[in-house]
Amino acid sequence: MVISWILHAISSDIVDSIMYLDEASAIWSELHDRFHQNSGPRVFEVKRSMQALTQGSNSIQAYFTRLKALWDMVREFRPQPAYTCGALKTIVDYQEQDQVLEFLVGLNDSYSAARSQILMQDPFPTINKVYATIIQEE
């Protein structure tokens, strides 16, 4: 059943090269080996887009949505490890703080008072709380 789904989900040109494999895992491995590309250039382009992104004439919602899509792309290219040691929690916390900072950096100067208040909070607020705060200001 899975093999049938895979074969019907991909281009017929590609199907011809894998249709005689007997197991779905073998097909998946073959396709992964053939099409998996280094994520370095992709991450570079996404990070470049993130650094250039500012609110400008966009609404807070539009700006945040675009930034969140870029964060999600990076997460897709660089998935977190599956283990849950204490160090990983610290790394995730830093990444979340970086998201808050990236969001605040791109905001228009009209939000400078709210930005200052957010930066003074301890503990650092989550990105969702910061977004909610800025939306109220808008």
List, for residues 48-85, the tens digit of each pLDDT value: 999 999 999 999 999 999 999 999 999 888 877 777 67
DSSP 22-78: --HHHHHHHHHHHH---SHHHHHHHHHHHHH---TTS-HHHHHHHHHHHHHHHHHHS
Rounded to 5 degrees, φ, ψ at 24 are -60, -40
Per-residue pLDDT of 103-120, as tens digits, reads 999 999 999 999 999 999
How many residues are given for the chain?
Answer: 138
